[in-house]
Structure 1
Amino acid sequence: MRTPLKAAAAVAASALALTTLTACGGDSASGSGGGKVKIMVGGLDKVIYLPAMLTERLGYFKAEGLDVELLTEPAGVQAETALVSGDVQGTVGFYDHTLDLQVKGKQVESVVQFSQAPGEVEIVSNEAAGDLTSAKDFKGRKLGVTGIGSSTDFLTKYLAVSSGVKTSEFTPVAVGAGQTFISAMEQGSIQGGMTTDPTVATILDKGLGKVLIDMRTPEGSQQALGGLYPSSSLYMQTEWVNGHKETVQKLANAFVKTLRWMSTHSAAEIAAKMPSDYAQGGGQELYVKAIESTLPMFTKDGVMPEDGPETVERVLKAFNPNLQNAEVDLAKTYTTEFVKSAG
């Protein structure tokens, strides 16, 4: 549990980040290869987005001559909004937002694909575990998601619909991640929900809940979603990418170096590079365990997994009325141009 002092510090830091974002929203990388790049992350301390901070901690941004500022929002949908509004040049969030935005008239593409599985876990409280044994039991439940319109919201709806439960038959509740998610479960505001490590590891360690559906591995993604599900990525507005190719290539170089580094180092070695407060009060040993559980989701080269975009399209079209009757040009939702040229 965070102390009041730590909680106050976290709030202050968040407010400062947002103030900085608002004040500097008009800035962007100048020319094709330099300037400051602001990247909004849908939760910097989430293990699924670990490559963002790890790249900074390893010094790879600076090695590429980049001035990168990492900002954070608790949910991917808020990070998406910051990108579309032009407040940041890039977002580290789920690839599925690129499809959702395309049918809304926004051209956004994944330029580095961090993962091949969602890294998400549907977890249920101990009190509800007896009756909530599969997605078929979502009916009538209040289920936590990071935010309405977030990827956790998307995936929860798919799991429900694919199990015969209508999206109108359960209630998604925006509870964020970390301590806010844990508190909602402890207070009974939600009976279950979708979240990531280190929140999952903390809940299990405290004996507050049980894993219902585990999508932290390619095998788990295959079982729950019928295929690999590319999720965490660096995505950017296509127009900005085309106008700043040298900068984007440097970003790809830095992130691909990080993914390669992760593939040859242990969870303990990775954890040792991260800020100490990312353990969310669970201690270093629990944080290492959280990283170890999630590591299988990451790619080693930043390349979009084969057939991954088709899986994402199928999942979204199962419940999203905006996509059900829309034609999605998947080729425009990602590019491998930069990762395949990464040194």
Structure 2
Amino acid sequence: MLKSSAQRSAGPRLRLLASSLVIAAGFAAPSSASAEKLTIIVGGMEKQIYLPAVLTRELGYFKDEGLDIELISSRAGVEAENELLAGAVQGVVGFYDHTIDLQAKGKFIQSVVQFSQAPGEVELVSTKYADSVKSPADFKGHTLGVTGLGSSTDFLTRYLAERGGLKAGDYSLLPVGAGNTFIAAIKQDQIQAGMTTEPTIGQMLKTGAAKILVDMRTPDKTAAALGGTYPAASFYVNTTWLDGHKDEAQKLANAFVKTMHFIAGHSAAEIADKMPKDYYVGDKDLYIQGLAEGKAQFTPDGRMPKDGPETVLKVLSAFSKNVQGKSIDLSKTYTTVFVDNAAKTLGN
């Protein structure tokens, strides 16, 4: 029996697996022969931060554009990034910060549609350590959970620690993924704190296993934690692919922008009703609650927030040796052309 879409993960093995092995019930079925088949990898499809990808499929907006889209889930954004660079997929739903990190390494990818203006992430601390770990300054001597090394949760965790006055050797990072693996790492004391997103946040708070240390689910709370608006979840592609596939990129932008308008115009409960039931992780009310609390993270139109790229560059420059001292051209990390065209099509 195939696992549910919320349970699957994929990594470098994608290049070796046939598509039929990674498609699960609920994925878009092959459409007409004229439909354009594209594969998009998502840095954890069950995560609410990447909700627009699955919601677009469920609303039928890909099909409306004549696209046959295969969505594949990965354990972390860094794995998705690697699949894109290897040419195994045409696009990624992941964090915008990878566009800057990769440019510093001489590789160019671009955000085509910006899903969020806040990370939608929370730094949780195990209840066992809540009395002693009251801020990132208290990370010293502890092991902190991230989805993957080189992932956006890695970047943000290191920045919070640096802002708290710590050096890299003062703490340890452990890749624990999200969902059940993250929960187990907290309960088994493999990590004393860690960064994750909904619906994992709600599950941990409900059981009392963890408490919120740093909340980055809304623009206001993100500005307090990171010093400004932080564009996060996005749809990005290789710049070389984009140069040769503008028609496909425009159709994808049209579909995603329609979804962002849908999110902006509907309640958390209405949005949840459109999502696959297994994404609720057995508690639809908790799923809706988490979505309601973090819904402000999403952009209303898919546009890059003003000054957002500068904040991300500032964050990465604070700790990343890859970025420090490099000349980064932010104009090459994203484009608004396709979103602007989609807005015209939608009459906005």
Task: Classify the TM-score, shorter chain.
Answer: over 0.9
Kindly indicate whether the alpha-carbon contact (under 8 Å) linking 2:36 and 2:66 is maintained by their aligned counterparts in 1: no
Q: Tell me the distance in 1 between the aligned counterparts of 2:178 and 2:98.
A: 19
Aligned partners of 2:12 and 2:83 also within 8 Å = no
Q: Deviations over 1:70-129 (max 9, x none)?
A: 001010000100101000000000000000111111110000000001111000011000
- Give, in whole Å, the separation in 1 of the partners of 2:18 and 2:11: 11
Q: Which residue of 2 aligns with 1:163?
A: 164
Contact persistence 2:10–2:73 (CA under 8 A): no
Quote the residue 2:327 is aligned against.
327
Partner amino acid for 2:173?
Answer: P
Distance 1:54 1:327, change over 3 A: same
1:29 maps to which residue? none
Unaligned 5+ segments in structure 1 are 26-32
> Residue by residue, what CA displacement relative to the aligned partner does 1:8-46 show, whole Å, maximum 9, x if unpaired?
835997379987653469xxxxxxx96311000000010
Distance 1:62 1:9 in 2: 24
Paired position in structure 2 for 1:124: 125
**2:15 maps to 1:14:** no
Match of 1:208 in 2: 209
Q: Is the 8 A contact 1:178 1:280 kept in 2?
A: no
1:316 maps to what in 2?
Answer: 316
Q: Does 1:239 align with 2:250?
A: no
Describe the shift of the 1:20–1:198 C-alpha distance in structure 2 as closer, same or farther (beyond 3 A): same
Q: Distance in 2 between matches of 1:302 and 1:12?
A: 24
Query: Paired residue for 2:340?
Result: 340
**SS at the partner of 2:293?**
helix
Show the 5 A alignment for 1:276-287: 276-281=277-282, 283-287=283-287
Task: Map Cα deviations across residues 211-250 of structure 1 (whole Å, 9 max, x no partner).
Answer: 0000000001100000000000000001111100011000
Say if 1:297 and 1:16 are closer, same or farther in 2 by CA, change over 3 A: closer
Q: Within 2, Cα distance between the matches of 1:138 and 1:124?
A: 10
Residue aligning to 2:56: 55
1:61 touches 1:68 (CA, 8 Å); kept in 2?
A: yes
Q: Contact 2:96–2:234 at 8 Å: present in 1 too?
A: yes
* 2:14–2:88 Cα contact (<8 Å) kept: no
Alignment match, 2:46: 45
Task: Name the amino acid aligned to 2:51.
Answer: L
| SS at structure 2 position matched to 1:340 | helix
Aligned partner of 2:26 in structure 1 is: none
C-alpha offsets along residues 247-295 of structure 1, whole Å, 9 cap, x if unaligned? 10000000000000010111011111111111123x1111111111211
Q: Which amino acid aligns with 2:331?
A: A
**In the alignment, residue 115 of structure 1 is paired with which amino acid?**
S
- Point out 4+ residue stretches in structure 1 off by more than 4 angstroms: 10-13, 15-21
| Match in the other structure for 1:28 | none
TM-score between the two structures when normalised by the length of structure 1: 0.92
CA distance 1:16–1:76, change in 2 (3 Å):
closer
Task: Answer whether contact 1:76 1:94 (CA < 8 A) is retained.
Answer: yes
Judge conservation of contact 1:55–1:254 (CA < 8 Å) in 2.
Answer: yes
Kindly tell me the number of residue pairs found equivalent between the two proteins.
329
The one-letter code of the counterpart of 1:127 is K
Cα-Cα RMSD: 1.9
Q: Is the 8 A contact 2:6 2:46 kept in 1?
A: no
Partners of 1:17 and 1:71 within 8 A in 2: no
Aligned residues of 1:34 and 1:247 also touching (Cα < 8 A): no
CA contact (8 A) 2:6 2:45 kept: no
TM-score w.r.t. length of structure 2: 0.91
* Compared CA separation, residues 327 and 24, structure 1 to 2 (3 A): farther
Q: 2:182 aligned with 1:181, yes or no?
A: yes
1:104 — aligned with what? 105
Report the Cα distance in structure 2 between the residues aligned to 1:241 and 1:273, rounded to whole angstroms.
Answer: 30
Which is worse superposed, 9-18 or 248-257?
9-18
Taking structure 1 as reference, are residues 270 and 11 closer, same or farther at Cα in structure 2, changes over 3 Å only? closer
Which letter maps to 2:16?
Answer: T
Question: Which residue number corresponds to residue 94 of structure 1?
Answer: 95
Partner residue, 1:299: 299
Task: Please state how far the C-alpha of 1:149 moved relative to its aligned partner.
Answer: 0.5
Given that 2:145 and 2:193 are in contact with CA atoms closer than 8 Å, whether structure 1 keeps it comes out as yes
**Residue 334 (structure 1) shift:** 0.2
| Cα distance in 2 between the residues matched to 1:17 and 1:265 | 34
Matching residue of 2:220: 219
Q: What SS does the aligned partner of 1:321 have?
A: coil
Counting aligned pairs with the same residue, the percent is 54
For 2:215 and 2:44, locate their aligned partners in 1 and report how far apart those are by CA, in whole Å: 20
* Gap regions ≥5 residues in structure 2: 20-33
Q: Which one-letter code corresponds to 1:264 in the other structure? A: G
Secondary structure of 2:323's counterpart equals helix
From the superposition, tell whether residues 314 and 284 of structure 1 become closer, same or farther in structure 2 (CA, over 3 Å). same
The amino acid of 1:334's aligned partner reads: Y
Whole-angstrom distance in 2 between the partners of 1:338 and 1:53: 20
SS at match of 2:252: helix
1:316 partner amino acid:
L
